[in-house]
Amino acid sequence: MTTETNPTRFGSGQAVKRLEDEALLAGAGRYTDDVSVPGQAWLSFVRSPYPHAKVVSIDRESAAAMPGVLGVFTGADLAAAGVQPMPGAAAFKRADGSDCATPDRHVLAQDRVRFVGEPVAIVVAETAQLARDAAEAVMVEYAELPMVVDIAGATAGGAPLVFDAATGNIAAEMRHGSAEATAQAFAKASHVVELDIVNQRVVALTIEPRSVLADFDAASGRITIRMSTQMPSGVRDSVCAALGLPKEKVRVVVGDVGGGFGMKTGAYPEDIAVAFAAHTLKRAVKWIADRSEEFLSTSHGRDIEAHAELALDANGKILGLRIRTHANVGAYATGTGVAIQLLIGPWVQTSVYDIQTIDFHFKAVLTNTAPTGAYRGAGRPEAIYNMERLMDEAARQTGIDRVELRRRNFIRPEQMPYKNPMQQTYDTGQFESVMDQALKLADWGGFEARAAESKRAGRVRGLGIATFLEWTGGNVFEERVTVSVQSDGVIEVYSAVNAMGQGIATTLAQLVVDAFDVPIEKVRIVLGDTDRGDGFGSAGSRSLFTGGSAVRIGAERTIDKARELAAKEFEVSPADVQYAAGLFNVAGTDLQLDLFTLASRQPEGEIFVDSTSTVSGPTWPNGCHITEVELDPATGEVGVMTYASVNDVGRVVNPLIVRGQLEGGAVQGIGQALCERVVYDPQTGQPLTGSLMDYAAPRADIIATMFRMEMDESTPCKNNPLGVKGVGELGTIGATPAIVNAVADALARNGMAKLSPRLDMPLTPDRLWQLMSSAA
């Protein structure tokens, strides 16, 4: 029975334990560092200790002469070999219409370094220790240049330029909406709310660091790259473009991935350097980043400063929204880093509210810091944080209850499909219903009793809420799968979406079970091999709604093909052949044929289908997140007491996995709200948070008591056949504004409502204590 004839079974809906976990828990995982090949060498990077400097000379003679060293390469060597720079953000423009102004980012710096940790040279040696020792023997002479590491410094008059062509250190900018119409809306407003809002820079922290093993096959001239990535096809294409190789000469294989969070999308200079070394030396080369390298050179997230204004009429109806934003994109403006802040974030800036009058002006600013890129949520957390801070501040200033203010401005179900002012169309959404469910789940009405209990303990309890949506899909809606029904009783499905700890293999297997009506033990999901098939990979919470939809369609096409083959065996019309539970039969007869027996009778010994399909648009998951915090006025310490949320993620295939995604995302968002922050010394440009000794990451015990993440399945997505919506980033997006709004509420209940506009993440005890002391 297919999902088409029984749509309620599109997904099992059961909390199936993750198939991936048994091997991982037994220590049998296959991460890149678990794999070694004969003759494997090791690579180490020489990195810049300066934020901005000219590279005067590089003396590699001593390093090259050390025992076990196989090669020392500089940027000049790579340039001589024809290695191309990394792609920039050419699709974006400056205010005068000129192209995005950003320096070429070379695999190894040439002539100039622009941030601490930028790779300058590579050393390849027989062992990891030899490579590290030789890297320390490479002598680089630098001539320091003036630098800037923050937005204020970079945009100040006369600031040092990161790149000479980027006047004012502005790489690119975009405007959206109508300045004139918005000015008119503000002119007639009864209330205008203004906030200066900071989304601080954070590290995209994964358990497994970036890892690359490039193996060269002399017989074929091919490089096989085993690495930790979310997008194997994209990495392969970038390596080929940089090294001038045809695609058939590079294969990327991905095993287990210890977290990605968007940070492992696309290729890094380090990935290409390892591939170059393997291709040049004609042998396998491995590089495993250490934690300090990750803090220095992996793409960071967030780092934007916004001036946000909201205009409302006397009844609290929003009339217009005006936002001015500077985004610190680091030393090199990448396509991803710029798009996230100048385009993708703005797509959801008006969120779940019926706002059509906007004036947005976004600028990408160059600084002498590590480039920013995708990190869980990628632009949407920043935009929603702006919106939800404005909504709570508007409630305080107008005297309208914050829940009621949201009700008055929600987009209503009868307005769907709804086109927001950024020309993005929401297919479905029942935002008020989701909020009402969350209010009940969180026992909103019982808060005052809990607040009184906290007061008796000498603490101030605060209640925070965030209602929001997000966009998912990366606007890449096509996906390919191959389905092979094999004679040994296995259905093997290959997909180009990729596992990175999120349980996607289990979810895809459940969809195969639903289509073929066979035990899950008969299903084998294969991921992460560019020789098996191309695809966009996993990013933007697209794995299930594009990849899963492709699996469903591919499975149905395979059953249709098998039905035609069975009809030939039975010598009847395909229309007379029925399929259920792995068996074909002819209605009204005793003729039947097992699916796998049918496969064994084919010339190839399998029934194989190569299927490409497309969903019709992105998904718009949404939610209401509510949290309660306790604030200690004496110390500034904040404790998260409860966290409750209801999330519209469309149909749910595996509730266990969905809850895990929501909970993990929320913890990351809470981490940004309370403790995480990348800090560069403005005087020296040195990162002060260069390791886990200095950078505070959230712990598993960050929630004191209740942590409930529920799903509303009543509004399936209309843009894909499964009805699912992306879920991987939703928790992160709701957590930061919910937590900060709760702290603002606690301050207001402590007689310090005027401090709420001055709250900036992370809300560490020392920062809150100083803020409260300034008010006193």
Whether the per-residue pLDDT at 218 is higher than 60: the answer is yes
In the chain, the percentage of residues whose pLDDT exceeds 70 is 98
pLDDT of residue 704: 79
Residue partners of 294: CB distance under 8 A and separation at least 6 = 203, 205, 206, 209, 210
Over residues 63-76, mean pLDDT: 98
d(CA 708, CA 703): 11
- pLDDT (average), residues 41-55: 98
Segment 438-455, tens digit of pLDDT: 999 999 999 999 999 999
How far apart (Å, rounded) are the C-alpha atoms in residues 701 and 667? 10
Per-residue pLDDT at 587: 87
Sequence-distant (≥ 6) Cβ neighbours of residue 82 within 8 angstroms: 243, 244
Domains and CATH numbers, the chain: 7-30+475-614 (3.30.365.10), 32-145+210-288 (3.90.1170.50), 395-472+619-775 (3.30.365.10)
CA distance 540 to 347: 14
Strands 300-312 and 285-288: unpaired
Distance CA 93, CA 99 (A): 5
Tell me what the mean pLDDT of segment 7-31 comes to: 79
Nearest to 283 by CA among 91, 83, 43, 480: 43
Measuring CA to CA, how many Å separate 51 from each of 198, 408, 610, 712? 23, 49, 49, 48
- Cβ count near 575 (within 10 Å): 9
Q: How far is CA 577 from CA 19, 337, 583, in A?
A: 33, 53, 10
Average pLDDT score over residue span 554-568: 97
* pLDDT value for 315: 98
Asked if residue 35 lies in contact with residue 27, where contact means CB atoms within 8 angstroms, the answer is no
Q: Model confidence at 353, in pLDDT bands (50, 70, 90)?
A: very high
Nearest partner of 329 among 195, 186, 162, judged by Cα: 162
Which residue's structure tokens are 């035609």? Answer: 564
| pLDDT at residue 3, rounded to an integer | 38
User: What integer pLDDT is reported at residue 5 of this predicted model?
Assistant: 40
Segment 105-123 shows an average pLDDT of 98
pLDDT-based confidence at 1, cuts 50/70/90?
Answer: very low
- Percent helix / strand / coil, the chain, rounded to 5: 35, 25, 40
- Per the CB < 8 A criterion, the answer to whether 434 and 649 are in contact is no
pLDDT at 500: 87
- Cis bond upstream, residue 417 (ω within 30): yes
Q: pLDDT at residue 678 above 90?
A: yes
- H helices then E strands: how many in the chain? 21, 28
The pLDDT of residue 6: 38
Q: Which residues neighbour 631 within 8 Å (Cβ) at sequence distance 6 or greater?
A: 459, 460, 461, 462, 637, 638, 743, 746, 747, 750, 768
Is residue 624 pLDDT above 70, yes or no? yes
Is there a contact between 373 and 265 (Cβ–Cβ < 8 Å)? Answer: yes
Share above pLDDT 90 across residues of the chain, in percent, rounded to a whole number: 91
Amino acid 11: pLDDT: 46
Assign 143 to helix, strand or coil: strand
H helical segments located in 571-681: 595-600, 655-674
pLDDT the model gives residue 529: 95
Q: Which two tokens stand for residue 242?
A: 């940089």
Mean pLDDT across the stretch 693-721? 92
Does the pLDDT of residue 93 top 60, yes or no?
A: yes
Mean pLDDT of all residues in 377-399: 97
How distant, in Å, are the alpha carbons of 25, 345, 395, 461, 735 from that of 747?
44, 29, 15, 9, 19
For residue 15, what pLDDT is reported?
83
Average pLDDT over residues 296-324: 98
pLDDT beyond 50 at 4: no
In terms of C-beta density within 10 A (0-12 exposed, 13-18 middle, 19 or more buried), how is residue 739 classed?
buried
Q: Name which of 491, 524, 557, 484 is nearest 2 in CA terms.
A: 557
Please, what is the average pLDDT of the chain? 95
Q: What local confidence, expressed as pLDDT, does residue 174 receive?
A: 98
pLDDT in tens, 530-560: 999 888 888 878 888 899 999 999 999 999 9
Predicted local distance difference test score (pLDDT) of residue 9: 40
Mean pLDDT across 694-719: 92
Closest CA to 320 of 144, 183, 516: 183
398, two tokens: 């107008």
- What is the model's pLDDT at position 13? 85
- What would the pLDDT profile of 742-755 be if each residue is shown by its tens digit? 999 999 999 999 99
Q: Is 103 helix (H, G, I), strand (E, B) or coil?
A: coil
β-strand pairing of 358-366 with 211-217: unpaired
The span from the CA of 590 to the CA of 574, in Å, is 16
pLDDT reported for residue 537: 81
Specify the pLDDT at position 703: 83
C-alpha span between 702 and 461 (Å, rounded): 16
pLDDT at 10 over 70: no
Exposure letters 506-545 (e unless 16+ CB within 10 A, then b) = bbbbbbbbbbbbbeeebbbbebbbbebbbbbbbbbbbbbb
Strands 285-288 and 41-47: parallel
Asked whether the predicted pLDDT for residue 765 surpasses 90, the reply is yes
| E strands in 470-573 | 478-486, 491-495, 523-527
